[in-house]
Amino acid sequence: MVERDLVIVGGGPAGMAAALAAHEAGITDILLFERDQHLGGILNQCVHTGFGLGYFHEVLTGPEYADRFAKKIRETPEIEVSLKSFVVHLTRDKELTFLKPGLLERVKARALIMATGCRERTREMVHIAGTRPAGIFSAGLAQKLINIEGLLPGRRVVIVGSGDIGLIMARRFFLEGAEVKAVIEIRKESRGLLRNIVQCLDDFNTPFYTSHKVAKIYGRDRVEKVKVVKVDDRLNEIPGEAFEIECDTVLISVGLIPENELIEMAGLAIDKKTNRPVSAELNKTAIDGLFVCGNAFQVYDIADSVSRDSEIAGRLAAEYLRGVS
Amino acid sequence: MIKKLICIECPKGCVLSVETEEGKVIAVSGNECPKGARYATSEIENPLRVLTTTVLARGLCVKMVPVKTDRPIPKDSLSEAMTAIKRIRLQKSVRVGEVVLEDLLGLGIRVIATRDVLSEE
Ligand code: SF4
């Protein structure tokens, strides 16, 4: 089996920063796997601004932020980028099996950094009663449909939860000509950044209900309406305080969970509640030479912090490789 | 008159107290940096936003190309700007920062690509 000094899984902000930092720390044989056909990960669909202030001291959009790193990687021949490459199996000995169009291959990593990011929590995880019609999307999927595929998934939208992606999508739908009927947050306060409440909701007079929940989704083939109920401090429904909103689309924006199936496969313990790897120290795991960084390690609010912390993973991997060689 | 605003210039989201007189800002407090004061003045007197969106690509390796206005534009013209930008069809490769529309709505604002789209289909 081919052996590489450092393998990195994931070409988003975490993986790119880790690769560059490892290279800077002296590693000259790096293989970076990305399942998409471009580097950048989720940043490519985050076309809004708000990136880069911490890291580059200027305000950038997601694609611009990704581009800064991707260009550096392209200028670094010691980092081999393998696109359209999907890792399907990982062992304790850091042996990876990956799919690439037309092939299934294996590679052994002397050091391994998992930068697999996170995925969105789903409707199932927040328990909304009702039917299962078309028109229910996670906020990030809607973002991909609009910004990458050029498709508008609906015209009358209710957003469940006030995570940042949901807020950003409220503005995006509005600008695309859709009607954003309401954002419904079960907690007393927004989950997203205050600035997003201002520039994504208030700017367009979008109604924002805190201490409310979507209790039920109605519709046969397509979403027709939702039932919204007020909740008390303990998140229990207050009887009699319910109303309905007609809509054809429901977006779910109720947080993110780290994506860690591969390291779980390799035998690492995963916290059942947060889906984070059980770890004593930033980016480290119980397997020597196996590091996890970015949103796979812990969910971050800001991409700049992902880059900063993932660089530490790159340096840790370099240190580890120096120690074992 | 005192107005409360949330600064949107960085993720901190400082709560600003803005004292105004006849629509003009005379004092700002609560900002942790000078950007907050500038934001408050602009927000009261002439609110501006950078518009980010996507334009249709034709015959390129992606379907949509992300773009932004090179400077903030008046908040009131966001919807009109969207309509103008939606008419763009990008048919050749672009680089980050390249202009895709010269003079948006006669505002003297350029719309620029925020992603390299180099290869054709
Ligand atoms: S005042 Fe300065 S620190 Fe506070 S939110 Fe605005 S830019 Fe950020």
ipTM for the complex?
A: 0.94
Report which protein residue has its CA nearest ligand 1's atom 6: B36
Query: In 3D, which of A185, A133, A130, A121 has the Cα closest to residue A158?
Result: A185
d(CA A228, CA A213): 6
d(CA A18, CA A4): 16
Query: In 3D, which of A22, A8, A21 has the Cα closest to residue A322?
Result: A22
**B14 within ligand 1 shell (Cβ under 6 A):** yes
d(CA A187, CA B82): 33
CA distances from residue A219 to A170, A189, A236 in whole angstroms, order as listed: 22, 29, 25
**B13 within ligand 1 shell (Cβ under 6 A):** yes
3 state SS of A201? helix
Q: From the CA of B26, how far away is ligand 1's center (Å)?
A: 18
CA distances from residue B16 to A90, A166, B24, B32, B41 in whole angstroms, order as listed: 51, 25, 15, 9, 11
**Spatial contact of A88 and A35, defined as CB atoms under 8 Å apart:** no
Q: How many CA atoms lie within 13 A of B109 on its CB side?
A: 21
CA distances from residue B37 to A202, B3, B9, B31, B46 in whole angstroms, order as listed: 20, 13, 10, 7, 14
- Which pair of tokens denotes residue B17? 């107290």
d(CA A189, CA B11): 16
**B40 within ligand 1 shell (Cβ under 6 A):** no
From start to end of A133-255, where are the E strands? 136-138, 156-160, 179-184, 208-209, 212-218, 225-231, 237-246, 249-252
Confidence at residue A196, expressed as pLDDT on a 0 to 100 scale: 95
> What's the whole-model pTM score?
0.94
Do A44 and B115 make contact, defined as CB atoms within 8 angstroms? Answer: yes
CB-based contact, B35 to chain A, within 8 Å? no
Confidence at residue A122, expressed as pLDDT on a 0 to 100 scale: 84
Interhelix angle A62-74/A303-324, rounded to 10 degrees, is 20
pLDDT tens, per residue, chain A with 325 residues: 899 999 999 999 999 999 999 999 999 999 999 999 999 999 999 999 999 999 999 999 999 999 999 999 999 999 999 999 999 999 999 999 999 999 999 999 999 999 999 999 987 777 898 889 999 999 999 999 999 999 999 999 999 999 999 999 999 999 999 999 999 999 999 989 999 999 999 999 999 999 999 999 999 999 999 999 999 999 999 988 999 999 999 999 999 999 999 999 999 999 999 999 998 899 999 999 999 999 999 999 999 999 999 999 999 999 999 998 6
